[in-house]
A and B are shown apart, each in its own frame.
Chain A
Amino acid sequence: MSSHAIETIVNGQSISAQVEARHTLADFLRGTAGCTGVHVGCEHGVCGACTVIVDGVAVRSCLMLAVQADGATVATAESLAAPDGTLHRVQQAMKDEYGLQCGFCTPGVVMTLAAITQGRSPDAEEIKDALSGHLCRCTGYQGMLKVAKRLGGEVQA
């Protein structure tokens, strides 16, 4: 396997690493970067649990190779809350609306919602469309649908 040097910024920290060409971004983030909030649910890009934000865009980290993140800035769910512990509005909405149960799909869900509400004001229907790219087996999506309405009605700063 070929080995490649990459430089990334993960949650604000610079990381220089040697990665094999075949290593997924998800495995790099979980292993090398220690971001175990990146959850691998299907490894074929359907369930959405591994979603992270790469250069401002929500990405399924199981479908992206670590080498492709060379030079990129990556954010995972670990970075969303403020340093003082204040939850990101997406996280707070998920908590308030009981949008999670087992929590396995949750980090991916909050990263998608964070990405599409960053500097934009999507309506509830667009947020629901985005949620449809995430599989949740526990909640029946009831809390998440409420989150979509709530965030969809918010005026973004």
Chain B
Amino acid sequence: MNAPADVPLAAARFTGERVPRKEDRRLLTGHGAYVDDVTMAGMVHGMFVRSPIARGRIVAIDVEAARALPGVRAVYTAADLDRHPAKLTGLYGSAESKFPDIWPLAKEDVRHVGDPVAIVLADDRYVAEDGAALVVVEYDDADAVVTIDDAATGAIVHPDLDTNVALMIATPEDPGLEAVFAGAAHVVTGTITHQRQAHVPMETRGIVAALQGSGEMLIHASCQSPHMVARYMDLAFAMPDLHFRVIAKDVGGAFGLKVQPWREEVAIVAAALLIGRPVKWIEDRLENLTASNQAREQDVTVRLAFDADATLLAADIDYRCNLGAYPHGADPNSLAMVMFPGPYKLPRYKFRAQGFYSNTAGQAAYRGPWAMESLARETLLEKAARQIGIDAVELRRRNLITAADQPHTMLTGFVIDRVTPRETLDKLVAHLDTPAFRAEQAAARAAGRYLGLGFAVYVEPTTMAFGGILSSDVADIRIEPTGKVTLTVSTHSQGHGTETTMAQLVADTLGVDIEDVSVMEDDSSRGGFGPGAGGSRQAVSGGGATLIASGKLADKIRAIAAHVLNASPDTISLAGGKVLVAGVAEMTTTVKEIAEIAYYQTERLPEGMEAGLEARHRYRPPPVVYSNAAHACTVEVDVETGMVKILRWVTCEDCGPMINPAVVEGQIAGGVVQGIGGVLYEQISYDARGNPTAVTFKDYLIPTAHDVPELEFLHIATPSASEGGFKGVGEGGAIVGPPTLVNAIADALAPFGADCLTLPLSPPRVLAEIGTRD
């Protein structure tokens, strides 16, 4: 393994500490600033008229009764919005992807239940809903394409495409592969099916759009990056004289759903252009669970070949996913294919992946969008351990890459470096006391109770700055003439705590108190472009930009101080808001005094130095940074009811040096519990006509405080090659959590020969695995 990167925070006072979050006071006292808290003079409220059918032609739309309702100010259909045509751009996909034309409102036909057909603008939300109920749409109903199997054989979802396959990717033919499987001592197979999930941020989507004068569209949005909203709006409208300014202070969770503005947000901007008044739309929970983009719904058939020593010889996977009608990207989860080998030595690998369009809500990236690779690999590895008759940890140890193997080039081309899958697993196992659990498990089984222990190990590509919109982040930092510090950075928090973590980095680099540092990431017109939250990248990319920009500013402070104090810059240090000269206490000055010189007494600056105390850095992180983790959990399965109780959950991750361990653990826990929801409870479902059947929180169950264990956290911190050595941690829990839990349940039910490869493992499904229910 390469030498660790330098961590330039030798005198860290805040970095690495459990610093209380700067954002918490306003959020705890009801003073957060979310999009629905924005009101403007003359603002009207939007409500969408949505398709009640999954597939059909629009025969006629009658908006007259709605327009006549007192308080309704406008009703727009696609024909109206076309005065400012806005076409949506996908977030990801390749040049070979088949991507349909996507418009804010349905034109000739509707393609999923919830497809927006018209928008009603009224004086308040209640009247807007009244108006929407008065819009009469006549449809020519057609049979819906709902499942992946429907899509593979049924009608074409998008008339402008000639297929329902958005993209198929595959490895080249490997004529020798079958011989490897034929000659293998052990071949393990399985099909893993993951249900559809919803992101369920507690704050739904929402937007306020207001034209300022003639050329600036001011937008308040619930999003993952104000810069990304501005970018996508500009791409959608492509109006030379229209500029976008996007503000997003507090956002109530996103998890991938809000990575780009989608049809409704674009429709609201179009409506604001047409009506010439501010327009607000706040999605309700019914819309959120039916018309917002969703996630997962995928199946993968896996074959693994092992030699007699349980060493992996080859893998063959065939993957399919349901992209719905209007996904954010036309991609069959390429990254899941790339990452399937994970932290294991896999000498031979074949894959095929297909993404299908259907008449269901479109897909979006959701926390660890490629997580299926870990679920498929880790569940099949434990199935292999059961089949071969070897301990699952021992099987992993025989196949994991170690420090000596790195840098390790995966068959798929990614180069993994500075990761610790073996070390995290070993630390986890040392903490667990597996023999004690196995004894308890045996005693329980003898008493008719079923306990299980499951493991999972994974490695995660974070940051992904190898090209495209994730390539860089920018930090602008300044010390005000008052001595206070303002950081404007292209990160964005939807709960991530970057207001705190970035301030920790700044405070240490400049030697000031964290209370004197303000972090601004809420306005696209301040600072520069950055993609915001996505890809577990903000500590790496935003943190790197912040460290370097802060370092430049610290250098400038030292240069000014050296000049005015007639000292060498090398002798000057920054601490406690003071500027100190080594060995000369009486020459101590303050950052505030240096700032006054920089702004007010510019004649005292060194010859040729730019006035002011400002610095900027746009940071290009390494192409890919990897974090990794091993998790284990124990469960008890009630074989009478099919209920699963999680008894214990231990995590051991390596996300590099932690800026704030409490924030790191918060990210891990949030991801794990979303994973618990995906394994046990959550399921977006449709009937055969494409009607959604989980449309409220009574049908779509997310975990509550009663459903979660108290996590035990272990940490290993191996620096990456990035500035500061950070690796990123946002998504990992949601990737490694699900196979950990599935494996524990499968271990508990091993006496029944259960594989537990069909999610969710709800009570009926568990009983089916046991064989007591079909």
Identify the A interface with B (CB < 8 A). Answer: 20, 22-23, 27, 30, 35-44, 46-47, 49, 76-78, 80-81, 87, 91, 94-96, 98, 100-107, 110, 128-129, 131-145, 148
Contacts and interface: CB of A to CB of B under 8 A. Distances in A.
B666 A41 contact: no
A37 B29 contact: yes
B36 interface: yes
A84 to B, nearest CB: 13
The B contact surface, by secondary structure, is: loop
Interface string B703-729: 111101011000000000000000000
B252 A128 contact: no
30 contacts: A36-B37, A37-B31, A39-B252, A43-B284, A47-B202, A78-B31, A81-B28, A91-B28, A94-B28, A95-B20, A95-B25, A98-B21, A100-B27, A101-B497, A102-B250, A102-B495, A103-B24, A103-B28, A105-B252, A106-B27, A129-B706, A133-B704, A135-B704, A137-B200, A138-B666, A139-B666, A140-B673, A140-B711, A143-B666, A145-B705
A131 B705 CA distance: 6
A105 B666 contact: no
A135 B202 contact: yes
Interface residues of B, number: 55
A83 B669 CA distance: 34
B232 interface: no
Contact of A103 (B200, B495, B662, B663): B495
Interface in B181-214: 200-204
B665 interface: yes
B255 interface: yes
A133 B705 CA distance: 8
Interface stretch (B160-168, B294-302, B694-702): B694-702
B670 A95 contact: no
Given A96-B20, A138-B495, A103 B27 contact: yes
A96 B21 CA distance: 9
B285 interface: yes
Given A22-B126, A98-B666, A105-B202, A142 B706 contact: no
A56 to B, nearest CB: 19
A96 B24 CA distance: 10
B496 interface: yes
B672 interface: yes
Given A47-B285, A101-B496, 13 more contacts: A20-B126, A22-B126, A27-B125, A47-B202, A102-B27, A103-B252, A104-B253, A135-B702, A137-B202, A137-B670, A138-B666, A141-B704, A142-B710
Contacts of B255: 137
Most chain A Cβ neighbours within 10 Å, of B28, B665, B673, B711: B28
B262 to A, nearest CB: 19
B31 A128 contact: no
B710 A145 contact: yes
A45 to B, nearest CB: 9
Nearest to B28: A91
Most chain A Cβ neighbours within 10 Å, of B21, B285, B496, B704: B704
7 smallest beta-carbon distances between A and B, as pairs: A37-B30, A104-B252, A103-B27, A102-B495, A140-B673, A101-B495, A77-B30
Interface in B25-67: 25-32, 34, 36-37
A61 to B, nearest CB: 13
Given A36-B30, A39-B34, A107-B30, A132 B705 contact: yes
B494 interface: yes
Contacts of B666: 98, 101, 138-139, 142-143
